[in-house]
Chains A and B, each alone.
Chain A
Amino acid sequence: ILNVEQSPQSLHVQEGDSTNFTCSFPSSNFYALHWYRWETAKSPEALFVMTLNGDEKKKGRISATLNTKEGYSYLYIKGSQPEDSATYLCALWSNTGKLIFGQGTTLQVKP
């Protein structure tokens, strides 16, 4: 069974702080890694799809890196704002053709 782990499970930061979280996955089954941002009562929103080792992608204040050899991806948020409060999900797209999700990291940004 493929396992995708995210840490920490939850995080509370002050507005303006920068933060990061981790997604770990079995490197042997890697095909692509997806990051989603999920606000309460809304649909998960796709942030990044990462495929290449060493990839770095950026969307505004959010960026992500990928290490397929050691099986991890980091998501960074620079200068967190209250509107960044959400659950951030990563999902492994494996050679089975399915998305396998981690449990998510729930971020709360206090004004």
Chain B
Amino acid sequence: GAVVSQHPSWVICKSGTSVKIECRSLDFQATTMFWYRQFPKQSLMLMATSNEGSKATYEQGVEKDKFLINHASLTLSTLTVTSAHPEDSSFYICSARDLVASGRQETQYFGPGTRLLVL
């Protein structure tokens, strides 16, 4: 099956630093990747949709200058949390949609997620 990797799986950083998270589709090409965030005891919440070669589309309430998304190739999207603060501590997870898939039957393939702790 399709595999999506995410790196790093864990990161602890000091307040004010920036953290970059990578999401890669390993055995398929993905024009669209999605970034989600999950706070404790809550559901996965979509943050933004990342399209290869164009600007990401952010969900309401998600600051685009704080969460920078780059989707430079068909297999890689990155999320950079800029000037991270303790309230940004969360679980971040990406998913990718196969280039050849279309329609409502298509499956999104998820990475294993990144747990971010900002001290």
Contact with A along B84-119 (1 / 0, CB 8 A): 000000000101000000001111111111000000
- Take A43-B4, A98-B49 as given contacts and tell me if A89 and B44 are in contact as well, using a CB distance cutoff of 8 Å: yes
- Mark the stretch among A65-73, A75-83, A100-108 that contacts chain B: A100-108
A34 to B43, CA, bound (A): 14
Among candidates A31, A36, A101, A103, residue contacting B104 with C-beta atoms closer than 8 Å = A31
In the complex, how many angstroms separate the beta carbon of A11 from the nearest chain B beta carbon? 16
A100 to B45, CA, bound (A): 7
Asked whether A101 lies within 8 Å of B111 as measured between CB atoms, the reply is no
A93 to B97, CA, bound (A): 13
A4 to B107, CA, bound (A): 18
Task: Name B2's closest neighbour in chain A (CB-CB).
Answer: A46
Which A residues are CB-close (under 8 A) to B49? 98
Which B residues are CB-close (under 8 A) to A32? 104-105
Taking the complex as formed, is B46 at the interface, i.e. its CB lies under 8 A from any CB of chain A?
A: yes
Interface of A is mostly: strand
The 10 nearest A-B residue pairs measured at CB: A32-B104, A101-B44, A101-B43, A44-B110, A46-B107, A43-B110, A103-B43, A43-B112, A31-B104, A49-B105
13 A-B contacts, Cβ less than 8 Å apart? Answer: A31-B104, A32-B104, A43-B110, A44-B93, A44-B110, A49-B104, A49-B106, A51-B104, A89-B43, A89-B44, A91-B44, A101-B43, A101-B44
Given contacts A4-B43, A34-B108, A43-B4, 19 further A-B contacts (CB under 8 A): A31-B104, A32-B105, A41-B112, A42-B112, A43-B109, A43-B110, A43-B112, A43-B113, A46-B107, A49-B104, A49-B106, A51-B105, A98-B46, A101-B36, A101-B44, A102-B43, A103-B41, A103-B42, A104-B43
